[in-house]
Amino acid sequence: MVALVLLPVGLAAGLLLAPLAAPFTGGVPWTRRLAMGAVTAAVFGAIGWRAGTEAVLAALLYLAAVGTLLAFVDVRVQRLPDRFTLPSYGVVAALLAVAVPFTGDGLSRFGHALIGMAALFALFAVQALLVPTGVGFGDVKLAGVLGLCLGWFGTRACVTGLLVTYLVGGAIAVGVMIVRRTSKGEFPFGPPMLIGTLVAVLWAAG
């Protein structure tokens, strides 16, 4: 039931958020707006299916909406704007804090969320410094936000999210190298990060 209710909500959220990409990608035609609405609806529905009415739902839906917007921007211009990532730290943390009293082990989960944020931020920061062609600092800032939600579900969720991220990223890199017939497989890394987080959350929630 929750999933069915969230489908039209996600569609509306995607359609309304799509124009925010315009300063970075140029005009946002209706085809792209509809695509973003459809993707957001699908993600909202999947999260609603797994998380149901859990108190963490609001934080997950916020991340789903902003994450879809970031993915569309990243695919177009290989950029994850600070305008969307940086405020998300405060918003996601606040929504998780609100969920604490309504969750059995909420305080412990919130502590794990903060640890997850710091751990993923540090991991991607080191990677950006050592292999700057692999990830950028936009990815580093996004990693911290994703770490908040992954950490809420525990260490296994963080590890699962990372594994899926690198598996998806590796598959895309190989595909890019084959198509471009080059040894350089550079591509936007934000979408694999978001996919990895979604898979881990769907696995851990419920």
- What is the domain partition of the chain in residue ranges? 2-204
Please list, in sequence order, all residues whose beta carbon lies within 8 angstroms of the beta carbon of residue 22, skipping any fewer than 6 positions away.
28
pLDDT in tens, 161-186: 999 999 999 898 888 778 776 656 57
φ and ψ of 61, to 5 deg: -70, -40
* 40 neighbors 64 (Cβ within 8 angstroms): yes
* For residue 129, pLDDT beyond 70: yes
Give me 181's structure tokens.
Answer: 């017939």
Of the chain, the percentage scoring pLDDT greater than 70 comes to: 97
pTM: 0.94
pLDDT of residue 185: 58
* 204 neighbors 46 (Cβ within 8 angstroms): no
If we measure between CA atoms, which residue out of 140, 138, 145 comes closest to residue 74? 138
pLDDT in tens, 69-126: 999 999 999 999 999 999 999 999 999 999 999 998 999 999 999 999 999 999 999 9
